[in-house]
Structure 1
Amino acid sequence: MTTGPLIVQSDKTLLLEVDHPDAGACRRAIAPFAELERAPEHIHTYRLTPLGLWNARAAGFDAEHVVDALITYSRYPVPHSLLVDVAETMSRYGRLQLVAHPTHGLVLHAVEVAVLTEVLRSKRMAGLVGERIDEVSVAVHPSQRGHLKQVLVKLGWPAEDLAGYVDGEAHAIGLVTDTWALRPYQEEAVEGFWHGGSGVVVLPCGAGKTIVGAAAMARAEATTLILVTNTVSARQWRDELLRRTTLTEDEIGEYSGARKEIRPVTIATYQVLTTRRKGVYTHLDLLDARDWGLILYDEVHLLPAPIFRMTADLQARRRLGLTATLVREDGREDEVFSLIGPKRYDAPWKDIEAQGYIAPADCVEVRLDLPQGERMVYASAEPEEKYRLAASAPGKVRVVEQLVAAHPHDQVLVIGQYIDQLEELSGHLEAPLITGATTVKQRQELFEEFRTGRIRVLVVSKVANFSIDLPEAAVAIQVSGTFGSRQEEAQRLGRIMRPKKDGRTAHFYTVVARDTVDADFAAHRQRFLAEQGYAYRIMDAGTSPGQPG
């Protein structure tokens, strides 16, 4: 009998024995198509889902690849019914195709008539398609291209979009590579996106997603709209484009709360696009302000719901989503799949680390007990208050002070959710605090002082979760977060993943109150990083950080 690390079950769950010598190779083999659900110490549970299998199919993995990975690493014979189901699920992708027709414009074409007949019987298809052209083709109004793809995913027949894209307004953009070169995985990411036409590139924080975006712009040589999470991020994008490309300051506009510039390359914040006045999105004209040839979505996993609706109208434009994780806590991954595009490239974090492009990281969960008085207050609290009480436990201040003291020569980020907790930590540590109330100018000044080493410890709220470039940050201490958010956990670890000049390891601490929902949420948050191969050591508060708990 084989002794592989994987147990494949007929209910589509995969159990991976973490301590098995082949666990790492197995995890890498199943990562393109399986999603991690639970990650306790010894056995990790993955699940096969239609969306995961369709993403793998769109990225170039066929059913034979999936079946081979399951059989190779499975400890027991893989259930035949599951192998059949994998093959049938993956074969659904592409049996419907959106294509350009010389006389009918946009057409939904079926490889077999029965599939088209089935979907056309659905009430959800009402108003999305026009006249039947022949038994395997039906006309589609171009304005319904995105909505149709959304519905077809819900119906279990994801369409392959082969209808092509308008070139948009041409604009010369080149890369300036006299002092640097695209890394091999960045070239592969751009190639995967360009070959597919639209879609998502998944790369670890610190692996150069902005450079992938710049290279895609150079490939398109067209006007580009870049959508980002906040104004600080917008200005980092602008600085990076000025450094890496032939673009000049006059060619790059910022469209944010502070400025309303429309240039050949325009960087807009999600917030300004989703601003409503009297129920109307007042800045939607930006989408039609130019004949855009490329739309870039930074941190695509954070797309606000209104942007999905806007993206449905942009299907004739090339679209590139950039993210460190496709995980969405609202379950709208299928919207990203249908409206931005499928995953075109995904580089495992540990592979990029092995190449030396991101820092190795030591992840530690520091557990403390609530004193008896706080324990009673927590026990008698309403459910909606429990997390705040546990996450803001006063004892965390002392733990953070000890962790900061244990890293006297490192630059440290202290990250949390609750402003009063962060204000207390800022006072105890005598460190500056950045929150949503901090002006963009103040934020930029404090981040610059941190980058140059004039500030060693910085306390930040969730405004620093995303798109903040702090290369020398080597330690992050997380005291509270957005409940069980896996993508937030990944982003926070990403703040310290830039490779250090001396090659040292980064340290990521999560301070957790034992036997509370704080601990439950922490376990949920860690799932994505466990999927990438990061193991959390458990340490008791008061133990030296260099020792196991």
Structure 2
Amino acid sequence: MAPKRKAAAAAGRASKRVASGISTPVSVSDDEYPSASEAEESSGREGTPASGPKRKYEKHKYDEVVKKYQPSSYAKTKQVEGDGDPASRLFNPKHDFFNEPLKADHRLRPLWIDRYNGRVVLETFSPSFKQAQNFLINIAEPQSRTTNMHEYTISPHSLFAAVSVGLTEQDIVRQLELFSKTKVPDNIIEFVHEVTQSFGKVRLVLKHNRYFIESNDASVLQMLLQDPVIGPCRVEDSVDLTTEKASKMGGLVIPGTKDAVQNRQAAAQMEQQKRQQEDEDDSDDEYGGKEAEKDMTEFLREDEDEDELDQVHTFEIDGSKIQIVQEHCNVKLNLPLTEEYDFRADEQNATLDIDLRPSTQIRYYQEHALSKMFGNGRARSGIIVLPCGAGKTLVGITAACTEKKSVIVLCTSATSAGQWRSEFIKWSNINPDDVIIFTSTEKGRIPNRACIIVCTYSMVTQNTRRAHDSKQTMDQITGREWGLMVLDEVHVVPAEMFRRVTERIKTHSKLGLTATLLREDDKIKDLNFLIGPKLYEANWLQLSEEGHIARVQCAEVWCPMTTEFYAEYLGAKTTNKRSLLSTMNPRKFQACQFLIDFHERRGDKIIVFSDNVYALKQYAEGLKKPYIFGDTGQRERDNVLQNFQFNPAVSTVFLSKIGDTSLDLPEATCLIQISSHYGSRRQEAQRLGRILRAKRRNDEGFNAFFYSLVSKDTNEMYYSSKRQAFLVDQGYAFKVITHLNGIDRMPDLRFSTQEERMTLLTDVLLQSETAGEQENIVDDLFSDRTTFRKPGAGGKKIGNGVKRQAGTLSSLAGGEDMAYLEYARGSRSNKELAKGKNAFFRKEGRDKERRKQATMDMRNELG
């Protein structure tokens, strides 16, 4: 009998894994699922009855809203399908380009363009790869950058960023045609035309603590004034339109670059020549003679010509209605307001005496990122994405040195705030008294002069009553203009919090810094509206190959569960208990011990991460290593970190999730992860960043190592593949290790006997349900989302630690820093409360504990 043929893969379905490792992750993107229109077409073919008039109206309204945000909307006619080849039946007809005509020299061109979703595939082995990559970074958002292929998406926000750095519609289409292997699809050209015509026409400017909308085209502003929403937002006493001279563009030199060094040297030479000229000049002319007068006359004439050519039109809007205007322009009118700050022409705000130290020189990619921010001589608001360890902090400091106006820096925790202050003093010549920290534990006095404030998000967005000193400081912050707002770790802040920040603090420009511009929900898109477009994103693999960040070998170590632990794991009724059993797996403990011993003998500095505090203490105390978690005192914490960095006898430190973003340990070369936060891709990337700083040792091949220990046949393997998706898209490959060679011969290996394992299991089972929970860190913005804390009580929890709120499945899957958990019926806190009400319940509890202990003893005797 002939073998049965498998059904063809459904169009649009995610493909099966083809990589070598069983646990090799795959990232699933939205375009791999059928769109709403495709689903409706398919349902109609299957005989689904037609929708009613209301449904048709809603669909038409929805299509009108999203039309200009999808390249596929500009495809006017359906492409003629060819015969294809035998593989064509495996592909959706929309994505089968078998019959697409190629250019004669297509082998020299590196780009493929998908007309239906704006995806661009770039070949890294093409001769023109470098030029094409530099172009795509400006007009598209990178999705995946592996060794041989890169994938980008052309989106409205990426084209917005392209227009903001000076690219025109003609520039974009011409370059796409130059690099593309095929003719650029007409719908892509139309999409670029529609988007570029909308973006960059109107700008939002803050002058003298007043908001203005300006444009080079007066007709656009007249249209806005006639709009029923924006018209009433105009300040009533202001003139309809005012015309003024446009600020002088260009001529700006970013500190820390080669141009800055050359300018400094040229200025010194000119100063020296000027002094020599003054010594030799015997002229009595007060203004330097007739030649100088002639030069000044020519300069004034040139200045008058510029005044006639460069003009902008503006009108003032009410500052309290700025969010209404921004939302209406972005969503309804498709005319996003770009925020630009002409800091060189700002005479209202005091100048900050700050500059980079002469010995400080920024790297080329940092200069490239800052050039996108200051490309036209003004400061644009936007987001810069750099890997951990690539110098994001220095980018923020250089931006502050370029503007030379008052700066406010927002951080995630008090520890980060202290590090930002130290970095400002280290890299710039700022007066230490002008850098003030404003956190829950440290509240410096804000001077009336230009200064730098470093504070936490929670201090700015707090809605409860403040202490007198805190309220006075906040009044000072909200009552003045700020030249630059730097938002550290911008990806993890909820949109609602940003709205409160932008409402309370008036700032001319905003700069968001992050290493992982991703979330498990769709709120990452809010940053384009609240801050600005993504100005620059670096290539992780490229920086690694150039030596700017470490070369890391990533590995996933599979640790089999012992029989007794796995039996209890299968019988556990709650997620917390199962998580604790998989984390305390004796085989995982042994793997951790073996890897620590191996890398200590190599001379590495090792960080071991555990989100579970109970496991952290058990591992660290069992291996006699120092550890730090949220409740560790500041003095002890500093002592441990100093010994780790400078004492050769201390090569390993155990950290809870407090070390994800708050600690700077450049000496670390090896990282071992024994427990983590479910499927968080962001946390995986942040932890890898702890060892990404360029290493002093120049070993051939890899000079840093990242191990993720997972217990086999548990939920850890599922979450591990989800966590790795972002790093795989950055080009990192995870090697799967199923057996550590030499671990069986290691002396003093813990839990090598049945008695030791049963003792450990008994201790784990006797732990309460809270032992399997994630750590809550006091004064950390992202650790305290689901518990209520009593203010002034040292972070003590009140209530049952539950906060009810509406959410979506994407939120429960890891978005908004939440996760779906299973709980047994009833609250354990209520049970404990009931026990304490009567002596009878206390006696029943003691009897239950005795029976449980007797069962454990009997099991040990039988084992």
TM category, shorter: 0.7 to 0.9
- In the alignment, residue 498 of structure 1 is paired with which amino acid? R
- Could you tell me which residue of structure 2 aligns to residue 346 of structure 1? 537
Closer, same or farther in 2 for the Cα pair 1:473/1:17, shift >3 Å?
same
Greater mean alpha carbon deviation, residues 431-440 or residues 49-58: 49-58
Q: Is the 1:205–1:495 Cα contact (8 Å) retained in structure 2?
A: yes
Deviations 1:392-436 (A, max 9, x none): 352432222222223121001111322222222212332222112
Corresponding position: 1:12 with 2:12: no
- Could you tell me which residue of structure 1 aligns to residue 337 of structure 2? 159
Greater mean alpha carbon deviation, residues 318-327 or residues 148-157: 148-157
**CA offset at residue 513 of structure 1?**
3.8
Corresponding position: 1:355 with 2:541: no
- Could you tell me which residue of structure 2 aligns to residue 418 of structure 1? 612
- Distance in 2, Cα, partners of 1:121 & 1:477: 58
Deviations 1:469-509 (A, max 9, x none): 21110011123333333332222111111211122411112
Equivalent residue runs for 1:50-449 within 5 Å: 50-60=156-166, 79-98=185-204, 106-107=212-213, 133=240, 140-146=317-323, 148-155=325-332, 156-162=334-340, 164=342, 168-177=349-358, 179-194=359-374, 195-263=378-446, 264-277=451-464, 284-285=474-475, 287-288=477-478, 291-304=481-494, 305-371=496-562, 388=579, 392=583, 394=585, 395-408=587-600, 409-449=603-643
Greater mean alpha carbon deviation, residues 228-237 or residues 521-530: 521-530
Greater mean alpha carbon deviation, residues 452-461 or residues 167-176: 167-176
- Distance in 2, Cα, partners of 1:364 & 1:22: 32
Aligned residue pair count: 541
- Distance in 2, Cα, partners of 1:119 & 1:10: 37
Q: Is the 2:560–2:712 Cα contact (8 Å) retained in structure 1?
A: yes
- Distance in 1, Cα, partners of 2:717 & 2:692: 24
Closer, same or farther in 2 for the Cα pair 1:120/1:294, shift >3 Å?
same
- In the alignment, residue 190 of structure 2 is paired with which amino acid? V
- Distance in 2, Cα, partners of 1:185 & 1:40: 19
- In the alignment, residue 372 of structure 2 is paired with which amino acid? G
- Distance in 1, Cα, partners of 2:190 & 2:578: 44
- In the alignment, residue 12 of structure 1 is paired with which amino acid? N
- In the alignment, residue 368 of structure 1 is paired with which amino acid? C
- Distance in 2, Cα, partners of 1:375 & 1:63: 61
**CA offset at residue 261 of structure 1?**
0.2
Closer, same or farther in 2 for the Cα pair 1:161/1:41, shift >3 Å?
closer
- In the alignment, residue 588 of structure 2 is paired with which amino acid? K
Closer, same or farther in 2 for the Cα pair 1:396/1:143, shift >3 Å?
farther
- In the alignment, residue 336 of structure 2 is paired with which amino acid? P
- Distance in 1, Cα, partners of 2:224 & 2:562: 62
**CA offset at residue 230 of structure 1?**
2.0
Q: Secondary structure at the match of 1:219?
A: helix
Q: Indicate the structure with greater strand content.
A: 1
- Distance in 2, Cα, partners of 1:517 & 1:23: 44
Closer, same or farther in 2 for the Cα pair 1:83/1:270, shift >3 Å?
same
Aligned-residue CA RMSD (Å):
4.3
TM-score when scaled to structure 1?
0.81
Q: Secondary structure at the match of 2:482?
A: coil
**CA offset at residue 328 of structure 1?**
3.5
Higher relative contact order (CA closer than 8 Å, sequence separation 6+): 1
Greater mean alpha carbon deviation, residues 13-22 or residues 403-412: 13-22
- Distance in 1, Cα, partners of 2:318 & 2:739: 61
Deviations 1:74-131 (A, max 9, x none): 77776543453344334432244335799x96236596979996998798x7975667
- Could you tell me which residue of structure 2 aligns to residue 458 of structure 1? 653
- Could you tell me which residue of structure 1 aligns to residue 732 of structure 2? 534
Deviations 1:337-390 (A, max 9, x none): 333333333332233334322222222222334456666666677796598368
- In the alignment, residue 343 of structure 1 is paired with which amino acid? K
- Distance in 2, Cα, partners of 1:29 & 1:196: 22
- Distance in 2, Cα, partners of 1:389 & 1:20: 46
**CA offset at residue 172 of structure 1?**
1.1
Greater mean alpha carbon deviation, residues 466-475 or residues 266-275: 266-275
Closer, same or farther in 2 for the Cα pair 1:53/1:415, shift >3 Å?
farther
- Distance in 2, Cα, partners of 1:55 & 1:5: 23
Unaligned runs of 5+ in 2: 1-101, 242-312, 744-863
- Distance in 2, Cα, partners of 1:351 & 1:462: 28
Q: Secondary structure at the match of 1:85?
A: helix
Q: Secondary structure at the match of 1:511?
A: strand
Corresponding position: 1:487 with 2:682: yes
- Distance in 2, Cα, partners of 1:126 & 1:397: 67
- In the alignment, residue 428 of structure 1 is paired with which amino acid? G
Greater mean alpha carbon deviation, residues 369-378 or residues 286-295: 369-378
- Distance in 2, Cα, partners of 1:45 & 1:449: 44
Equivalent residue runs for 1:6-45 within 5 Å: 8-12=113-117, 14=119, 30=136, 34-35=140-141
- Could you tell me which residue of structure 1 aligns to residue 706 of structure 2? 508
- Distance in 2, Cα, partners of 1:184 & 1:39: 20
- In the alignment, residue 594 of structure 2 is paired with which amino acid? Q
**CA offset at residue 160 of structure 1?**
2.0
- Distance in 2, Cα, partners of 1:233 & 1:335: 24
Equivalent residue runs for 1:471-482 within 5 Å: 471-482=666-677
- Distance in 1, Cα, partners of 2:582 & 2:158: 33
- Distance in 2, Cα, partners of 1:482 & 1:128: 45
Equivalent pairs: percent with the same residue?
Answer: 27
Unaligned runs of 5+ in 1: none
- In the alignment, residue 643 of structure 2 is paired with which amino acid? E
- Distance in 1, Cα, partners of 2:497 & 2:403: 26
- Distance in 2, Cα, partners of 1:222 & 1:101: 14
- Could you tell me which residue of structure 1 aligns to residue 815 of structure 2? none
Closer, same or farther in 2 for the Cα pair 1:496/1:44, shift >3 Å?
same
Closer, same or farther in 2 for the Cα pair 1:163/1:174, shift >3 Å?
closer
| Structure index of larger Rg | 2
Closer, same or farther in 2 for the Cα pair 1:105/1:234, shift >3 Å?
closer
Greater mean alpha carbon deviation, residues 229-238 or residues 525-534: 525-534
Q: Is the 1:56–1:343 Cα contact (8 Å) retained in structure 2?
A: no
- Distance in 2, Cα, partners of 1:387 & 1:220: 53
Q: Is the 2:224–2:231 Cα contact (8 Å) retained in structure 1?
A: no
Q: Is the 2:169–2:196 Cα contact (8 Å) retained in structure 1?
A: yes
TM-score when scaled to structure 2?
0.54
- Distance in 2, Cα, partners of 1:376 & 1:513: 14
Q: Is the 2:141–2:152 Cα contact (8 Å) retained in structure 1?
A: yes
- Distance in 2, Cα, partners of 1:461 & 1:86: 47
- In the alignment, residue 486 of structure 1 is paired with which amino acid? R
Q: Secondary structure at the match of 2:617?
A: helix
Q: Is the 1:484–1:522 Cα contact (8 Å) retained in structure 2?
A: yes
Closer, same or farther in 2 for the Cα pair 1:418/1:152, shift >3 Å?
farther
Q: Secondary structure at the match of 1:258?
A: coil
Q: Secondary structure at the match of 2:557?
A: strand
Closer, same or farther in 2 for the Cα pair 1:498/1:119, shift >3 Å?
farther
- Distance in 2, Cα, partners of 1:121 & 1:380: 65
Greater mean alpha carbon deviation, residues 330-339 or residues 494-503: 330-339
Q: Indicate the structure with greater helix content.
A: 2
- In the alignment, residue 641 of structure 2 is paired with which amino acid? F
